[in-house]
Chains A and B, each alone.
Chain A
């Protein structure tokens, strides 16, 4: 489960020392607090959304209509919006991120790799709302007039790529998310690749393989589950991102039919309407939150298992 070396355990003390016991108990409470927070969030979301689940049952999960006028709420448009944006993000970020991870772990000079990794990790530090601001005023108009127009001209006959593009929509949100999850994929991917034993590489080099062949035929297959884990961790982050998505996704409650359609992710729907709604609508929004929590928990658990499987030995 853990990717870390087990720290040195303190030797058991013979005589019970009051100070030690109090200190251990105090720190234990802090540990319990963290676990309780997670459980508490789940409980609060479940309790607060209970009336909505009672009203709609699984219909809240499987309903395709979100209609406040008639008080009917189904999560499908937002689940689709969430998955679609996250999927686009992964389709863009996974290849770029993994190639970057390979470059940094296998090809780059160490003196170059460290500052490059550092720079890419800085990308993760840019606040979501700043990316959203940049998205509204720079990225959305840029995509609308260039990439989107190009894709629509070339592939517009396929319904999935049908225009028009207004700049604000699922695809722009996906691109912003790709930018946000790149650092996750790169830095975890790089660590996973570096944890591959040197013997794997040497055997291939011994056979006269090129560096590219070593990276793609020896290192990558060996680290496969960890690499997948890195991508899934990125996906997990993409699912829950709120502000940047809210600001560029176009905020429409319908199921998107094209990548250029407007949509709404679960997180953006909550951000825009939770403070605006009462009664069943508000409770259904919390129900959306519970669905999102379940999605992220599952993905995170899966990803961490996969990363741990590759990087079992001590790192660093």
Chain B
């Protein structure tokens, strides 16, 4: 009976093909009532890209780091253009890259730019455009009863996450926090269990400040953690930290607010202790904007110069196919991203993200012209 199985599998796939085809997976350019066809969403001067008039569904997946921002964006854009439905699943940056590689989504999202070997692993002929949308701070959150102010420097933070500092009243922590009463309780590290751009930025920081980290777990979206509890997503880390007394974790700024947890002030390159904040990230971004790479694959900005600069800042990217397979989807996607890069920027500060520096914003908008359908630009210059 085993011999029949490939045939059965083929038949199953066939059934599926018929069913999915019948259900119309994707954007059918059905002539439905459109709101303000061709209206430009932009109020920033230059003519924005056209918004398709038919019903379009876009599926995206990836980073949890910008997820609150994206969810607000996509809801607002959906209100302005009810014919465009955007579904974003926050599964992790690794998921954004996996699914853009296996082409199971219309767009991906990651805070870690794709590595060279990840780009090499793309199907032949597939090109991915990294579009920066925002910046965020990776902050260290903690849940220690009675403790609200905590200062940490690089080596101490690395020691905690390496598992060499195991008590909250460790001399290394005490030395940085004179006059603060530290409990003798255990330090419980909470880290990510999934492929994460937040992890990539945070481990880049730890590797920059600690040779033991660099030679040990290293830098990446998913590393071998020496200690602690794993949790899925920025939300999972925030929730586990919130629930566990003595816990310490790392998340995007917005999630610290969601969990209502205090964040540690980190010692920056100038030796000042700074809290993660939109301003601290903006300072880092402005310093990095001049050297922003042409392919947009900007690594996290670690220990940027400046007294007010927060030491762990990261761009977050949408991952788009340069060659779109469906014109309506391509149009909708460009319109959405254009809106996010222009009007959408105003929503960032309120949610704990830093808007793009003007120079980067202009480059990102210009890059949208390179997206094509059938070889021709969808939004010609």
Residues of A at under 8 Å CB distance from B? Answer: 32-33, 35-37, 39-40, 43-44, 65-70, 136-137, 141, 164, 166-168, 250-254, 262, 264, 272-273, 275-279, 281-282
Contact = CB atoms under 8 A, between A and B. Distances in A.
Contacts of B230: 250-253, 262, 264, 272
A141 B243 CA distance: 9
A137 B239 CA distance: 11
A262 B9 CA distance: 39
Contacts of A168: 229, 240, 244
Contacts of B5: 36, 39-40, 43
Contacts of B99: 275
Contact of A272 (B1, B118, B193): B193
Nearest to A33: B8
A65 B243 CA distance: 29
B94 A277 contact: yes
A136 B231 CA distance: 12
Interface of B: 1-2, 4-6, 8-9, 12, 91-92, 94-95, 97-99, 101, 117-118, 121, 186, 188, 193-195, 217-226, 228-232, 240, 243-244
A277 B93 CA distance: 9
Interface centre among A141, A251, A264, A282 (most CB of B within 10 A): A251
Contacts of A35: 1
29 contacts: A32-B8, A36-B4, A39-B2, A40-B5, A43-B6, A44-B9, A70-B218, A166-B188, A168-B244, A252-B225, A252-B228, A253-B224, A253-B225, A253-B230, A254-B224, A262-B229, A262-B230, A264-B193, A264-B230, A272-B193, A272-B230, A272-B232, A275-B91, A276-B91, A276-B98, A276-B222, A278-B101, A279-B117, A281-B222
A251 B4 contact: no
B229 A164 contact: no
B94 A276 contact: yes
A282 B95 CA distance: 11
B228 A262 contact: yes
Nearest to B229: A250
Contact of B229 (A37, A251, A281): A251
Given A40-B5, A68-B223, A282-B98, 15 more contacts: A32-B8, A33-B8, A35-B1, A36-B8, A40-B8, A65-B224, A67-B223, A68-B220, A68-B221, A68-B224, A164-B186, A166-B244, A272-B193, A278-B97, A278-B101
Given A251-B232, A278-B118, A272 B194 contact: yes
Nearest to A137: B243
A40 B9 contact: yes
Contacts of A253: 224-225, 230
Nearest to B9: A40
Contacts of B6: 43
Contacts of A67: 223-224
